[in-house]
Amino acid sequence: MDGIVEHIGRLPEYALTWLPLVFLGLIVYLIWRTLQFMPRVKPTTVEPDSKSSVRWDDIAGVDEAAKELQEVVDFLQHPKRFAQLGARVPKGILLYGPPGTGKTLLAKAVANASGASFYSQSASAFVEMFAGLGAARIRKLFETARNNAPAIVFIDELDAVGMRRSGTSHNREHDQTLNQLLVELDGFRSPDQVVLIGASNRLEDLDPALLRPGRFDRQILVSPPDLAGREAILEVHTRGKPLADDVDLNVVARHTAGLAGADLANICNEAAIFAGRAERGEVTQADFDAAIERIVAGLQQSRVVTEKEKRILAFHEAGHALMSHLVGEPMPVQKVTIVSRGQALGYTLNTPQEDRYLHTKDEFLDLLKVMLAGRAAEQIVFGAVTNGAANDLERVTELARRMVFEFGMSDEVASRTMRADNYALSEHTKRVRDEEQARLTDHAYAEAVRLLAKHRSSLDRLSALLLEKETLHRPELEELFSTIERESNSSEAVGTPRVVAMPSDPSTR
Ligand code: ADP
Ligand code: ZN
């Protein structure tokens, strides 16, 4: 007993000696655990990705990028030929473009075609919490690649290290990593036969130091595919899938404007899954349609929509569809539906005849009318508007903004841009600009109201049919429009391809 009491009594003295030791042990243990759980430069990340079996014909719709990269293949295969000529061969190539357009795929094809080993790393893996680790990884990666030349080093998400350097202290680690990457690039010698391919979604975000000559001095845009490109990509991804006779990949391509290769691959896969679930031996066009809807508009949901809501929806969508018809051919309606899918309650699917990069001011004005026609129909029929047009309004506002701010398409200022980030603009100019934007949208809305009021009976018939069938496809729409035209040849000019805009008539509002 005495001994224990003595011990307790002397605890503070004891503590002075062993407490620090315990703490030290604890800290060492914690560091050890942290290191264990941290992603490390595992041997696998430095070994070449063995399955770089991507061939050029696995990639479609990015012909220009593929052609430029063909040069790199030549260089990797015949380094002497280029050295003899004193040619400076590319060492850093930057592929930039939206996600899923095939940048990784292209880099792999280069490696496969040239017989080079392929090392890939996502740049986000370099940005570590411990200073110097990211830089060390980069050093290791390049060292391994050099020892196994010819080699392709592929760094995805380059923005993660290549972002403009901040100079602030909390980003020092990040800056060190970027610096190491620059050192490696500058240290490349031609005989090394190592080519660095970087991928990034945006060129603007990258540190200019990365883009200087001798570094990523070759920049190749990998843009989303156009119509022909989408069809070709769909062909790649339906290879080996049994397709029914009714499948028309051109139609699928037309319905997928704006989607990237990864989305298209997804659609082909979904279509096959639909067919499999229905226990069919072939993938049909209907499977593709269902897949497009799933990918584009989210999963079909069983939302409860009241009869009243359904009526409003029907008039709203009929407004869009009728207006597309009234303004003419450039954007024929493929489909209009009031069946709710994902976020959108109903939607009208317009598909342009072809992919185009140039549009006239008149076409944009028509587009504004089409986008505003949903709300205009609500206004005419119910005398009140709903929140259902929020998304339409957002798109309208954005288009009108670009027309005035960027395209010089306002009446007042047609010779220059007036970008939002231009602080040099005078207050007066800014006011003119905002007034012009408002004028475009207000005018388009007035026009939409006027035209729909004029064609009110067509609007009623279209929405009634829509309420009945819930979804109308292009042939049904065409039939309805031509019936209306035949019946009322004299009074209404629904069938004419373009209704000449007339000064808006206040009585129809
Ligand atoms: P990124 O690197 O541009 O984000 P990926 O190369 O990783 O895109 O593409 C992801 C997937 O999408 C590919 O594995 C492929 O299945 C498909 N894909 C994307 N672009 C194409 C294309 N141009 N041709 C064929 N398939 C493509
Ligand atoms: Zn709408």
Residue at a domain's end among 272, 297, 322: 297
CATH number of the domain within which 399 lies: 1.20.58.760
Q: Tell me what the mean pLDDT of segment 260-277 comes to.
A: 94
Which pLDDT score, from 0 to 100, does residue 297 have? 63
Distance from residue 474's CA to the centre of ligand 2 (Å): 18
The predicted-structure confidence for 88-123, as pLDDT tens digits, reads as follows: 777 789 998 888 899 999 999 999 998 889 998 887
For residue 44, being part of any structural domain is answered with no
pLDDT score of 502: 37
Cβ neighbours for 452, distance < 8 A, ≥ 6 positions apart = 319, 322, 323, 373, 376, 377, 380, 459
**Cβ neighbours of residue 498 closer than 8 Å, sequence gap 6 or more:** 327, 328
384 domain-assigned: yes
Query: Do residue 93 and residue 175 come from a single domain?
Result: yes
Q: Which bound ligand lies closest to the C-alpha atom of 59?
A: 1
Could you tell me the distance, in angstroms and rounded to a whole number, from the CA of residue 481 to the centre of ligand 2? 20
The better pLDDT of the pair 100, 185 is held by 100
Residue 440: per-residue pLDDT: 92
88 compared with 136, residue with greater pLDDT = 136
Q: How far is CA 292 from the centre of its chain?
A: 16
Q: What is the pLDDT of residues 34-74, one digit of tens each?
A: 665 554 444 334 555 555 789 999 999 888 889 989 988 88
Please give the distance, rounded to the nearest whole angstrom, from the Cα atom of residue 186 to the centre of ligand 1.
Answer: 30
Q: Which residue did the predictor score with more confidence, 43 or 359? A: 359
- Give nearest CA residue, ligand 1 atom 7: 104
Q: Could you give phi then psi for residue 239, rounded to 5 degrees?
A: -55, 130
Position 507 scores a pLDDT of 35
Q: Check residue 351 and give its pLDDT.
A: 58
Average pLDDT over residues 163-188: 67
Question: Do 66 and 195 lie in a common domain?
Answer: yes
Average pLDDT value over all residues in the chain: 79
**Of 297, 325, 340, at which residue does a domain stop?**
297
The CA radius of gyration of the chain, in Å to the nearest whole number, is 31
CATH of the domain at 269: 1.10.8.60
From 194, 221, 248, the end of a domain falls on 221
Q: What is the pLDDT of residue 281?
A: 92
Query: What is the Å distance from ligand 1's center to 56 Cα?
Result: 12
Please name which ligand lies nearest the alpha carbon of 396: 2
pLDDT at 22: 80
Q: Is residue 100 in contact with ligand 1, taking CB distance under 6 Å?
A: yes
- Tell me how crowded residue 483 is: count the other CB atoms within 10 A of its CB: 13
Q: How far is the CA of 337 from the centre of ligand 2 (A)?
A: 11
Instruction: Quote the number of domains for the chain.
Output: 4
Quick one: 188 and 253 in the same domain? Answer: no
pLDDT at 8: 47
Regarding the beta carbon of 268 and ligand 1, being less than 6 Å apart is answered: no
Number of residues written out for the chain: 509
Residue 220 Cβ inside 6 Å of ligand 1? The answer reads no
> What residue numbers bound the domain in which 394 lies?
307-508
Does position 193 have pLDDT exceeding 50, yes or no? yes
Token output for 168: 């602030």
Higher-pLDDT residue of 173 and 251 is 251
Tens-place pLDDT, residues 299-328? 334 344 567 888 898 999 999 999 999 988
Say if ligand 1 is within 6 A of residue 60 CB: yes
All residues at 6 or more sequence positions from 180 whose CB lies less than 8 Å from its CB, including other chains: 134, 135, 138, 139
Checking if the pLDDT of 342 tops 70, the result is: no
Known catalytic residue: 317? Answer: yes
| pLDDT number for residue 369 | 94
The number of the ligand 1 atom at minimal distance from the alpha carbon of 225 is 23
Q: Is the CB of 221 under 6 A from ligand 1?
A: no
- Which of 51, 105, 267 has most ligand 1 atoms within 8 Å of its beta carbon, as the pocket-test mutant? 105
Tokens found for residue 182: 């620059």
Cβ(467)–Cβ(310) under 8 Å?
yes
pLDDT band at 465 (very low <50, low <70, confident <90, very high): very high
Assess whether the C-beta atom of 95 lies below 6 angstroms from ligand 1. Answer: no
In terms of domains, do 246 and 157 share one? no
Q: Is 134 in the pocket of ligand 1 (CB under 6 A)?
A: no
